[in-house]
Structure 1
Amino acid sequence: MKEWVCSRERTLGAVLLVLGVLVWLGLIVGTFGVMLIVLLFGFVAYVFAQSALVAHVRGNGVQLGAEQFPDLHGQFVSCCEKLGLDKQPEAYVLQGGGMLNAFAAQFLGHRFVVLLSGVVDAMQAHPDGVRFYVGHELGHLRRGHAVGGLLRMPVLWLPLIGGAYARAKETSCDLHGLACSSSGESAARALAALASGPQRWQQMDMKVFARQSRHGAGFWMSFHELASGYPWLTKRVARVMGANRLPGRNPLAYVLAAFVPYAGRLGGGFGLLLMVYLIGVLAAVAIPQYQAYTIKAKLVQAVQASNGAREALAQQYLQSGQIPESLAAAGLPEMAADGSRLSLDAEGMVLTVQTPRGALVFTPHRDEKGGLGWECAGRTPLTAQQLPAGCMVAEGTGKF
């Protein structure tokens, strides 16, 4: 049964599982249990959403059985046996408004396969095609895709690897569908309805359609596939028809896709918008922080450069008991080593250090031992985040 699983799904799934668990642990430990509360609310939301889906299917769909659509039920049972599923999921046909689709769901241990009526009607002339869709959805259940995303969730957005894992899952499920089909041609014709609609697919030349996969080697097609959770339909058809080698992708597309978060079915365009949004948010946070850091670093230099002047002023006052009339009278320069300008208010011996970023004001005060200490305050427009340790935002000067 290993041949029904894309090898990349196992590898990528394992990598994302390890990364996801590490991120969950980091969030839980780093937020001291806040993420546990988030997970609890997430589980409650999941229960309500899944229960609503299951209730809708059971209340409005037609359950397949020996007495209800026995032809479809027989195909479903045969496919379950082929894939080795001992416990068969519940199977339903549901009105889909013409949509060609099918899906699998799992809720509190119950598993479901739902075929939308558009798929069933489209395959009226190709009964074996239903088996492909059934096998594809059973593949999702068999591989645990319906419930296996929680641990990987924090890292599924990662560029390249998130989309690659999603595409690998779809490839695995196509292989399950192929296993339930009578031939690769039969499986390809089931997929053809997704390309040309519920009627025209019957007139398609599948080999010609599979050859269209060569277009996937172009830059933009390569990029949008790398950002998508689904392989191009032409590639899916070529694969189930037994193509030995599919066209490669443009290497430059990997460079661009590496910067675009995986956005699921919303595609690369939304992923690009998401990236721009994330960059904007990070910039809005990081730029002010960086600016505050650079200003703070300059102010720290100003504090250190003016330290000698404060020590000299304190020493002269303690020796003479009088405040120097000016910096010149104290024998001190009016410019510090870092280029800051110094000025002295003789009334309170308040030293102002004027920097290009703003002014720092040092006010002397008596300490417990009778010596002099200095209180540091930053005048507007300096903010608390920009000031060195021990300084606070204040205006005006004080006396001692």
Structure 2
Amino acid sequence: MNLVYKNEKTLFGIMLAVSLLIWALLVVGTVGMALLWGLLFFISYCFAQSALVSYLRGTAVQITAAQFPDLHQRIEACCQRLGLEQAPEAYLLQMGGVFNAFATRFLGRHFIVLYSDVVDALEERPDAINFYIGHEIGHIRQHHLRWSALLAPAAWLPLLGPAYARAREYTCDRHGFHACDDLKSAQVGLAALAAGGKRWRQLSVGQYTAQAQQSGGFWMSFHELVGDYPWLVKRMAVVRALAQGNEVTQPGRHGLAYLLALCVPRLGVGGAGSVLGVIALVGVLAAVAIPVYQDYLVKARMAQAINVGHEATAAVERYFYANGRGPATLEAAGYAMDDPNHAVQDISVDPGNGMVRVYPSDLNYRGKAIAFTPRVDENKRVVWQCAGGDIPARVLPPECHN
């Protein structure tokens, strides 16, 4: 049996290509500032993960050969069956009735955590606990945790990020299924997630699986498309089909749900690390967006200042044609500044050579001038040359880059 869900490798390739492109654009666009943000994110991530690992080691019960040897033996056996050479550090954690398990990684070391309620609920079917163990080993074996930082930019994209997250869950369910000795144990494990610690015994897997046929409607399609997990009824349908030696065909999703989901970025991941990831990603994007937006505003005001300069040069040019010389002042040329946006602090003309100087009102460039220098060509026509002087060319239009 192939332990990797059919779409995961394709989605991983797309995620990797998109993420590398975004990282490259961020590094180039921020002139390397994205690397600093990446370092800050890594430091924040280390603090968050160290808090989690410290909490586990200080609160949860470590599963060892001496402490809960039955669970330790199951973890070792699952690792061997799934081809994981080094068993992760494992803990049992009481979570107030929550049924789950998770894997995490800190400084190259892997951890898996089993919630005590799900272990207690499956005491009479301990092979079903292998499903949870195998599922988390799947995350480790497929390097989902190792690749998460590199894939972070694409992970927040609509449709793509959630699709890859759901594909990973299907892959890990296959690992959990393969870790069980009894082919029906994976169904028991999912039944406990669905019905709880007691009622799972009475759950009809067939009827529960039939609920998957309702998942093709608009709203169920939409909420699955923006979520990190497939509907549990669909996961049950998959492991039930695997137990029968088949591959299930899931109901199609509503087409319009894709359009709406395309407008929703992936924000459904949880935990402190994810919050820090959002903060770091927003910070990196801000490092690009804020300077770009500021440049946009400056460019717009510079364009307004240059338009004012064009009106002044036109007045000087008319005066030259009429009098054969430049004006002593702009007022003498009949020019009155029209600057409703207050883009210009001052404007003047040099009576000696006719040069018009425009002083932008932007605080960053106070005292610096855009110079319009006239010359007379072979046809006795006045030609103007614009230059920004000490003002950066990136905020000036191409005509003033000389």
- Name which one, 1 or 2, has greater alpha-carbon Rg: 1
Any idea what SS the aligned residue of 2:349 has? strand
Distance 1:202 1:27, change over 3 A: same
Cα distance in 2 for residues equivalent to 1:198 and 1:44: 39
Partners of 2:327 and 2:126 lie apart in 1 by 106
For residues 12 and 343 of structure 2, what CA distance do their matches in structure 1 show?
A: 57
Match of 1:251 among 255, 261, 269: 255
Quick check: 1:228–1:264 contact (8 Å CA) kept in 2? yes
Equivalent residue for 2:54? 55
Please give the per-residue CA displacement for 1:260-287, whole angstroms capped at 9, x wherever unaligned: 1111247xxxxxxx9xxx9xx9999999
2:349 to 360, 364, 372: 364
SS at structure 1 position matched to 2:52: helix
Q: CA deviation at 1:92?
A: 1.9
Q: In the alignment, which residue of structure 1 is the partner of 2:318?
A: 312
Structure 1 residues 237-386: aligned runs within 5 Å: 237-242=236-241, 244-265=248-269, 304=310, 307-317=313-323, 345-346=331-332, 349=333, 351-354=335-338, 363-366=348-351, 370-376=352-358
Instruction: Write the distance in 2 (CA, Å) between the matches of 1:221 and 1:322.
Output: 76
What SS does the corresponding residue of 2:252 show, helix, strand or coil?
Answer: coil
Equivalent-residue separation in structure 1 for 2:24 and 2:41 (angstroms): 16
Instruction: Note the C-alpha offset of 1:304.
Output: 4.4
Could you say which residue in structure 2 is the equivalent of 1:141?
Answer: 140
1:80-117: CA deviation from partner (whole Å, max 9, x where unpaired): 12112222222221222221111112223322221011
Residue type of the partner of 2:107? L
Paired residue for 1:190?
189
C-alpha distance after superposition, 1:204-258 (max 9, x if no partner): 1011111111111011111111100100111111111115211110011111111
Letter in 2 for 1:19: V
Contact 2:191 2:200 in 1 (8 A): yes
Amino acid at match of 1:97: G
Q: TM-score, normalised by structure 2?
A: 0.75
The whole-number CA distance in structure 2 between the counterparts of 1:359 and 1:49 is 47
CA contact (8 A) 1:79 1:135 kept: yes
How far apart are the structure 2 equivalents of 1:320 and 1:128?
97
Question: What is the Cα-based RMSD across aligned positions, in Å?
Answer: 3.7
Tell me: CA distance 1:376–1:316, structure 2 relative to 1, closer, same or farther (3 Å).
farther
CA contact (8 A) 2:305 2:343 kept: no
Cα distance, 1:379–1:351 mapped onto 2, change above 3 Å: farther
| Unmatched tracts of structure 1, length 5 or more | 267-273, 324-343, 393-400
2:76 is matched with 77
Partner of 2:164: 165
Q: Distance in 2 between matches of 1:62 and 1:320?
A: 90
Distance change (3 Å), C-alpha of 1:376 and 1:34: closer
Label 1:214 to 1:304 Cα distance change in 2 as closer, same or farther (>3 A): same
Local SS of the residue matching 1:263: coil
Contact 1:350-1:364 within 8 A present in 2 as well? no
Q: Distance in 2 between matches of 1:359 and 1:61?
A: 64
- Contact residue 353 and residue 359 of structure 1 kept, 8 A: no
TM-aligned CA distance change 1:301 to 1:230, over 3 Å: same
CA contact (8 A) 2:359 2:370 kept: no
Please report the TM-score for the alignment, with normalisation by the length of structure 1: 0.75
> Larger deviation: 15-24 or 234-243?
15-24
Secondary structure, counterpart of 2:71 in structure 1 = helix
- Checking the alignment, whether the CA contact within 8 Å between 1:104 and 1:137 is kept in structure 2 is yes
> For 2:46, what is the secondary structure of its paired residue?
helix
- Structure 1 residues 173, 291: CA separation in 2 closer, same or farther (over 3 Å shift)? same
Aligned 1:30-69 pairs, distance under 5 A? 30-69=29-68
Q: Matched residues in 1 for 2:343 and 2:86: separation?
A: 77
Q: Partner residue of 1:397?
A: none
Change (3 A) 1:228 1:215: same
Assess, with a 3 A threshold, how the Cα gap between structure 1 residues 234 and 184 changes in structure 2: closer, same or farther. Answer: farther
Q: Which amino acid aligns with 1:373?
A: M
Instruction: Give 1:300 shift.
Output: 5.5
Ranges in structure 2 where 5+ consecutive residues have no aligned partner: 242-246, 271-277, 373-387, 389-402
Aligned residues: 352
- Retained in 1: the 8 A contact 2:19–2:153? yes
Aligned to 1:22: 21
Q: 1:285 to 1:30 in 2, by over 3 A?
A: closer
Q: CA deviation at 1:379?
A: 9.1
2:274 corresponds in structure 1 to none
Do the aligned residues in 1 keep the contact of 2:128 with 2:186 (CA within 8 Å)? yes
Is contact 1:226–1:254 with CA below 8 Å preserved after alignment?
yes
Distance 1:322 1:225 in 2: 74
- CA shift, 1:20, in A, is 1.5
**Cα deviation per residue 1:100-146 (whole Å; 9 max; x = unaligned)?**
11111222332222101111112123212101000001101111112
| TM-fit CA distance, 1:162 | 0.4
CA distance in 1, matches of 2:224, 2:326: 82
